[in-house]
A = this chain, B = another copy of it.
């Protein structure tokens, strides 16, 4: 534990502005997802499936690790997202314990519609955060 200088009012104000920028991005992203009738978590689940390397499709445990949530949280999220017809559960033929996830046609379309603008918005976020960190 290193000794730290006392934080000033200005330090706290800057910390608040930084967190506000992160919040604004998440909020904007959630609104974009909502416009496609998705929650933010459902959007992230679609991205975790689409962005997963390899041909086989990720397991529930793998997306739970990607999303930094407990496996049972991922089960509930997969349940709700599957009910919307955005993803499919498929038992792995070589290991029947494993469920592999795949995007449905609708899921693929919705994720595609969201992704390009997210690339742009993330670039903006990076620029603003970098500026704030450098004071």
Give the interface of A toward B (CB within 8 A). 4, 7, 11-13, 15-20, 22-27, 44, 47-48, 50-53, 66-68, 112, 115-116, 118-119, 122-123, 125-126, 129-130, 132-133
A12, B129: Cβ atoms closer than 8 Å: no
B130, A18: Cβ atoms closer than 8 Å: no
Give 14 pairs: A residue, B residue, CB < 8 Å, sorted on A: A7-B115, A12-B50, A15-B115, A15-B118, A15-B119, A16-B50, A16-B52, A20-B66, A22-B25, A23-B44, A122-B133, A123-B133, A126-B126, A126-B133
- How many monomers of this chain does the complex have? 2
Provide the main secondary structure of the chain A interface.
Answer: helix
